[in-house]
Amino acid sequence: MSNTVKHFGIINSDVIEQPESGSWYVTSEGKITTLKYVGNETKILAFEKTLPNVHQDLGDKGFPKFDKDEGGVWTLEIQYTLRWEGDGLAVFPNRINPYIQLTTQDIQKPLESNFIFMLVTHEGLPIVENIEAFESWKNAPLFRRVKFQYSDKNISEPAVENDAHWLTLGEWQKKLAMRVLCGQDSYLIGSQIVTQITVFTSRPNPGLVNKDYKISTPPGGSYTSNQKYLQKPSSLSQGQDGNWTMTDTWTGADYWDTGIYDA
């Protein structure tokens, strides 16, 4: 018997829901229910448009799938997703949501920016007296620079050969000068990058989304104690599964400019 004869009644009838229609399973998104119908092309296309975008019991409507067999009978399959409720976070098997990723990167910084040389404070604020001395040392004749000396600012025209016209750098400025004389002008710090990824079943409340660069502490866990962290604006995207993913990133450094970035 041909498919044309076998499905003659279906082709000429209204859309018929199949026995397996209504089967469901559970994922991290929620409860997924599959509906299945057969009918002729015209009626099945028209029927699909009558299905609600949001079903009271089944949830959100997905994209329809149409298939045609050799007998000319069309099949419609469509999925509805009833998303998890509560705090809006998606539930994943064997994974914490939100979850943390830790990576590191090297940051190259000018030697003079390191607070151990006493030109700046731990917060990056200038120590004017020490900066003036170090800048004066950099402009001194080589004969005095190799002795880590700089001119007394109270003397208008210091003489190179007169020791009384020259002062010696402090202990840590001298250590900085030694490195500069050897050609070193920068250093590396290991910056810890903390990334938090949060998946929501619906678009998160605007109050949860960070919109500015700001100095803040990463959530949870133990991080490098000698670093302060700059949080980037949140990244927000929606996937094909309907879930929303928010990515927050904190970059560690020895200090951040508190005059530019608010806490």
pLDDT digits (tens, 9 = 90+) for 145-203: 999 999 998 888 899 999 999 999 999 999 999 999 999 999 998 899 999 999 998 88
Q: Specify the residue for token string 């005095």.
A: 144
Local confidence band at 8 (pLDDT 50, 70, 90 cut-offs):
very low
Whether 29 has a pLDDT exceeding 90, the answer reads no
* CB-based burial label for 89 (10 Å; 0-12, 13-18, 19+): middle
Among 191, 194, 245, smallest CA distance to 217 is for 194
Looking at the chain, the whole-number percentage of residues with pLDDT higher than 90 is 59
Q: For 8-12, 59-63, 238-242, which range has the lowest pLDDT when averaged over its residues?
A: 8-12
Q: How far is CA 156 from the centre of its chain?
A: 55
pLDDT score at 24 = 87
State the alpha helices, DSSP H only, in the chain. Answer: 3-6, 8-11, 41-50, 128-138, 142-145, 171-181
Looking at the chain, the whole-number percentage of residues with pLDDT higher than 70 is 90
Would you state the structure tokens that stand for residue 84, as one six-digit string? 């998890």
pLDDT digits (tens, 9 = 90+) for 234-262: 999 998 888 899 999 999 998 888 889 98
pLDDT score at 31 = 83
Grouping H, G, I as helix, E, B as strand and the rest as coil, residue 143 is helix
Mean pLDDT of 132-141: 95
pLDDT score at 87 = 63
pLDDT score at 2 = 37
pLDDT score at 93 = 67
Q: For 8-12, 76-80, 226-230, 244-248, which range has the lowest pLDDT when averaged over its residues?
A: 8-12
Asked whether 255 and 124 are in contact (CB, 8 A), the reply is yes
pLDDT score at 236 = 95
pTM for the model: 0.58
pLDDT score at 13 = 66
Mean pLDDT of 200-224: 87
pLDDT digits (tens, 9 = 90+) for 62-74: 999 999 987 789 9
* CB-based burial label for 188 (10 Å; 0-12, 13-18, 19+): exposed
Local confidence band at 86 (pLDDT 50, 70, 90 cut-offs):
low
